[in-house]
Structure 1
Amino acid sequence: MSPAAAHARLYWPLLATGCLSACIRVGPDFHPQHESWTEHWSSTSIEQATQQAAQPDIRQWWRIFADQNLESLIAQADANNGDVKIAGLRVLEARAQLGIAVAGRYPQLQQANADVLYSTRKRSDGVNPHSGGYWQYGLGFSVGWELDFWGRFSRAIESANASFFAAQANRDDALVLLHAQVADTYFTLRTAEARLRIARENAQLQKRSYEIALKLFKSGETDELDLQQAKTQYLGTLSSIPDFESQTVLARHALSVLLGRPPGPLPELNVQPDKAEVLPLVDRAVLQDVPADLLLRRPDVRAAELQMAAQSALIGVAKADFYPSVSLLGSLVWSASSLNGSPSTLALIGGPSVTWNLFDHGKISNNVRVQDARLQELTIAYQNTVREAAREADDAATTILAAWQRDTILNDAQRAAQRSVKLANTIYREGYSDFQRVLDAQRALFAQQDAYIVNRGNAVGSLIALYKALGGGWYSEQPLIDSATRQQMQQRTDWGDLLNETNTPSATASSSGGSSR
């Protein structure tokens, strides 16, 4: 039997033993730790504020407003927002980290070396000295493969895999936040525009009253008190206009940044829609599932759970240091010389190697404790995230209900104020009341109209907050990496198939226990 065959007979049983032992994984297996209340959680406010329907899908909840401007803004934000782009790149980074972890399944030490040496020698027989030189050649290749006896590498892969899915969930959460911010900022802009329009209309109305009071005062028909009161009211309303103008500019700037543009005007929003389109009243949020399930599918909740899974696997990685490390080592060495009569040699060397950190027990123990403490921290953070999500949803639903109740009352109040202004003007012209009643009616009109618009804006904002709190809006048709970024990265680095593998539109993960190949 040749030496190579003998080595092979020793090698393959060891490899088979290593493969069988790889199923032994020290450390805890992760199990989701959902609190009992989350399984059937709901609230009276959410039940009253929502209804079950197929459309619009909660992933694209903004379609409930039927606003083409809003849908266009969200599509632009998906394509150009910097935070979402960074979140997509972090998914790609996590996928590359997973590739590093998977590499642990293969030989960890791979080394090749070659050398060429020139030697000289000098020999003297006492009469005629002789000298000469010769070349020496060497070529070697070494391989070292640590067998995964205790699941060190499989746990590392498990951790990296969970981190990869957590990065996807974080990207979904970035989309949830982005869509809510775009919608909220858009309706903040529309609210400011509506309040600006009302302020200008009331300023014109009060300006006419001030001009009338001025004429009457100059003609001696009224005293100066009516004039000063009319002037005060008009200037007070006039002073609110710059503030509303500033609010509209700031809202446009905020939208520009969300869309990935520098702060500036938004020409596509210059055409003012009518009043009904500016501040829509949606009387129910549409859901396709019960709040308890939606709560646990929130991207940030899923990300928190996946981070727990990743950390749980790291406990196993740390615990593997308690046990001996078994490796298979092998070397192939060839050497030759140009010296006459010198033979060339080919040597194959191989065998197992065992290393064991017998005197690092304290260090290893404390590292395991560190990893376990981090897992407990993430567990508590996960529980806090779920509770905070439930609070946000309940608060938003409660606020919506209050805004809906106030809407009818404030609408009636503004109509009554409009009627009061007409009656006050009529009675004043006929001489049955003083000018103060006209001023009071105008002041009440402005206040009620503004309160009505503000309440409408609050209702829309609370509806957006409810959808956000339930994790809606994670869907995007845009790929993780846009074409320009993709091209730039490919020119700089060989990414292989990773860009193709991860460059798919966002979709919520069905579970936290998925795997990647």
Structure 2
Amino acid sequence: MPRFTGSNRLWLAYVACLGGCVTVGPDFHPQHEGWAEHWSDPAIEQATMQHAQPDASQWWQVFADQNLERLMAEADAHNADLKIAGLRVLEARAQLGIAQSGRYPQVQQIGGDALYTKSRHSGNSGPNSSGSWQYGIGFDIGWELDFWGRFRRAIEAADAAYFASQANRDAVLVLLHAQVADTYFTMRTAEARLRIAHENAALQKRSLEITERLFKSGESDELDLQQAKTQYLSTLSNIPTFESQITLARHALSVLIGRPPGPLPELDEQPGKEGVIPLVDHAVLQDVPADLLLRRPDVRAAELHMASQSALIGVAKADLYPTVTLLGTLAWSASSSSGTPSSLLSASEVAGSPSELALAIGPSVTWNVFDHGRIVNNVRVQDARLQQLVVTYQDTVRQAAREADDAATGLIAALQRDSVLHDAEQAAGRSLTLANTIYREGYSDFQRVLDAQRALSAQQDAYIVNRSNAVGSLIALYKAVGGGWRTEQPLVDPATREQMEQRTHWGDLIKESNAPSAAPLPPEGQSR
């Protein structure tokens, strides 16, 4: 057993103590811009109201549509992008485990060997041969002290990356719920426009039949007939377009909820919703827009990526300084001059063989003094990457504010147009009635009937499209403030979990039932 002098003990104690308190590299601080912390906008204030219900995490409940709610639940359970995002959280958690292993001895090796040596020599008595066996087993340990915080910074980086993966999963949820709702109401809009096209085609068909009868009886010229026919066929040509839009929207919904294109029984759970476009005049929020903006999942993810990269600067800087490693070896060796193979030796013969037990332990210092700029430039690379992420974060916040402002502005404009377009639709219907009456009584030509039919069709379609724009702007507003981040589904669904556990031992890692939603940033300088 080695013996340590007083000076050696003091030196080792100094190294261990200093290794626990020195951390190179910058400490991360959030890069919030002043305007973002107090951001608001007249359009946002006009288009939103603060209320406890419904919760913005499940904002689609404002539509009171059970069909939509069932589609949301199916998407949460089976969407492919969401599954991948959950698996990336597991991957990041495993990466964090790798980083945390740096707290322990990096080298822990057990080795053994058995060597047989045979020699042959000649003498007075003639040729002679002999053999010997050598046995050895040893345990080596090497522990690089975290003198400059290399491993602490690596854990800090992996920890921030882990939380960033959770935020990315929340961002996938926000996008997924917005896509499901937007696609659903795109389908409902196409259904409403298809219904209007059928209704107008029926009106125009009756006009065509009348003009055809009048033309055959000689009471009208062919121009009225051909104009009526043109308008009728033009309206009919729109019907396949709307039917195609409905089919495509159903296909998109099927993929969003993790199915191949096919029937969607969820759309028939609540009858009477075909072609219905609800009008919701404001978004319900539980906090001020500025706070919601900074808690938006993609904004949080951008900030966490900055925190991770900031820690990597410390990892790179640690290479500028010497590394202090505690090395230890415990070895046992034995030899036998017998020419008998070890498998044939008796236990007493092995036990009686000469053997040696050795223990060695002590510190080792290495310092890469002449790196020709490699380490310094690596630190610069990491710092440049951090600055890129700072700019990316600031731009992400600006883009989020623009999205929210655009959506609120679009919602307000659509709401203002709604009542006007409704009155215009009523007026167009009344105009068609009057035009038909005047035409039948012979006080007007057929052109006024055609104009009135065209105006009615256009106003009805414009009214439905504007309602669709209002719904789309409301969905975009909720998405812009990060609404819809919560789900009851686990990170990994049971079938995938079973498949993965058959391949790999996951321990307790894969047993997490739910991913944290809207997780705050970890405290500065701390890891979780």
After TM superposition, the score normalised by the length of structure 2 is 0.93
Decide which of 490, 514, 528 is 1:504's aligned counterpart.
514
Decide which of 23, 28, 31 is 2:29's aligned counterpart.
31
Q: Name the structure 2 match of 1:75.
A: 73
The change in CA–CA distance for 1:445 and 1:272 in structure 2 (over 3 A counts) is farther
The alignment-based identity, stated in percent, is 72
Decide which of 327, 330, 336 is 1:329's aligned counterpart.
327
Shifted more, 108-117 versus 349-358: the winner is 108-117
Q: Name the structure 1 match of 2:294.
A: 296
In the alignment, the residues of structure 2 paired with residue 276 and residue 76 of structure 1 have an alpha-carbon distance, to the nearest angstrom, of 20
Decide which of 339, 360, 365 is 2:371's aligned counterpart.
360
Query: Is the CA contact (8 Å cut-off) linking 2:96 and 2:159 kept in structure 1?
Result: yes
Alignment of 1:218-229 (within 5 A): 218-229=216-227
In the alignment, the residues of structure 2 paired with residue 385 and residue 202 of structure 1 have an alpha-carbon distance, to the nearest angstrom, of 46
Q: Name the structure 1 match of 2:176.
A: 178
Decide which of 140, 143, 149 is 2:138's aligned counterpart.
140
Query: Is the CA contact (8 Å cut-off) linking 1:329 and 1:352 kept in structure 2?
Result: yes
User: After superposition, what is the alpha-carbon deviation per residue over 1:367-426, rounded to whole angstroms, capped at 9, x for unaligned?
Assistant: 110000000000000000000000000000000000000000001111111112222222
Shifted more, 26-35 versus 269-278: the winner is 269-278
Amino acid at match of 2:303: E
RMSD: 2.0
Shift of 1:277: 7.3
Gap runs ≥5 in structure 1: none
Decide which of 85, 88, 91 is 2:89's aligned counterpart.
91
Decide which of 462, 479, 484 is 1:451's aligned counterpart.
462
User: After superposition, what is the alpha-carbon deviation per residue over 1:483-515, rounded to whole angstroms, capped at 9, x for unaligned?
Assistant: 0110010001111111024x4144111224486
Query: Is the CA contact (8 Å cut-off) linking 1:97 and 1:160 kept in structure 2?
Result: yes
The change in CA–CA distance for 1:137 and 1:204 in structure 2 (over 3 A counts) is same
User: After superposition, what is the alpha-carbon deviation per residue over 1:158-196, rounded to whole angstroms, capped at 9, x for unaligned?
Assistant: 000000000000000000000000000000000000000
Query: Is the CA contact (8 Å cut-off) linking 2:166 and 2:515 kept in structure 1?
Result: no
In the alignment, the residues of structure 1 paired with residue 147 and residue 218 of structure 2 have an alpha-carbon distance, to the nearest angstrom, of 105
In the alignment, the residues of structure 2 paired with residue 272 and residue 157 of structure 1 have an alpha-carbon distance, to the nearest angstrom, of 51
Shift of 1:119: 2.4
The change in CA–CA distance for 1:469 and 1:97 in structure 2 (over 3 A counts) is same
Q: Name the structure 2 match of 1:376.
A: 387
Shift of 1:264: 2.6
In the alignment, the residues of structure 1 paired with residue 378 and residue 499 of structure 2 have an alpha-carbon distance, to the nearest angstrom, of 41
Query: Is the CA contact (8 Å cut-off) linking 1:59 and 1:472 kept in structure 2?
Result: yes
The change in CA–CA distance for 1:463 and 1:390 in structure 2 (over 3 A counts) is same
Alignment of 1:109-188 (within 5 A): 109-122=107-120, 126-127=124-125, 130-188=128-186
Shift of 1:134: 2.7
Decide which of 222, 225, 232 is 1:234's aligned counterpart.
232
The change in CA–CA distance for 1:171 and 1:275 in structure 2 (over 3 A counts) is closer
Q: Name the structure 1 match of 2:210.
A: 212
In the alignment, the residues of structure 2 paired with residue 227 and residue 277 of structure 1 have an alpha-carbon distance, to the nearest angstrom, of 33
Decide which of 413, 421, 432 is 1:410's aligned counterpart.
421
1:44 is aligned to 2:55: no
Matched residue SS, 1:55: coil
Matched residue SS, 2:230: helix
User: After superposition, what is the alpha-carbon deviation per residue over 1:28-48, rounded to whole angstroms, capped at 9, x for unaligned?
Assistant: 000001000011100000100
Shift of 1:443: 1.1
Decide which of 240, 246, 249 is 2:247's aligned counterpart.
249
Matched residue SS, 2:40: coil
In the alignment, the residues of structure 2 paired with residue 271 and residue 359 of structure 1 have an alpha-carbon distance, to the nearest angstrom, of 73
Q: How many residues align?
A: 514
In the alignment, the residues of structure 1 paired with residue 386 and residue 441 of structure 2 have an alpha-carbon distance, to the nearest angstrom, of 80
In the alignment, the residues of structure 1 paired with residue 168 and residue 269 of structure 2 have an alpha-carbon distance, to the nearest angstrom, of 36
Shifted more, 363-372 versus 430-439: the winner is 430-439
Shifted more, 425-434 versus 459-468: the winner is 425-434
Query: Is the CA contact (8 Å cut-off) linking 1:396 and 1:466 kept in structure 2?
Result: yes
In the alignment, the residues of structure 2 paired with residue 157 and residue 70 of structure 1 have an alpha-carbon distance, to the nearest angstrom, of 42
Q: Name the structure 2 match of 1:55.
A: 53
Shift of 1:9: 10
Gap runs ≥5 in structure 2: 339-351
In the alignment, the residues of structure 2 paired with residue 8 and residue 481 of structure 1 have an alpha-carbon distance, to the nearest angstrom, of 56
Decide which of 439, 444, 466 is 1:433's aligned counterpart.
444
Query: Is the CA contact (8 Å cut-off) linking 2:70 and 2:266 kept in structure 1?
Result: no
Q: Name the structure 2 match of 1:64.
A: 62
In the alignment, the residues of structure 1 paired with residue 17 and residue 487 of structure 2 have an alpha-carbon distance, to the nearest angstrom, of 42
Matched residue SS, 2:362: strand
Matched residue SS, 2:373: helix
Amino acid at match of 2:279: L
Decide which of 465, 478, 497 is 2:489's aligned counterpart.
478
Matched residue SS, 1:278: coil
After TM superposition, the score normalised by the length of structure 1 is 0.95
Q: Name the structure 2 match of 1:351.
A: 362
Alignment of 1:248-267 (within 5 A): 248-267=246-265
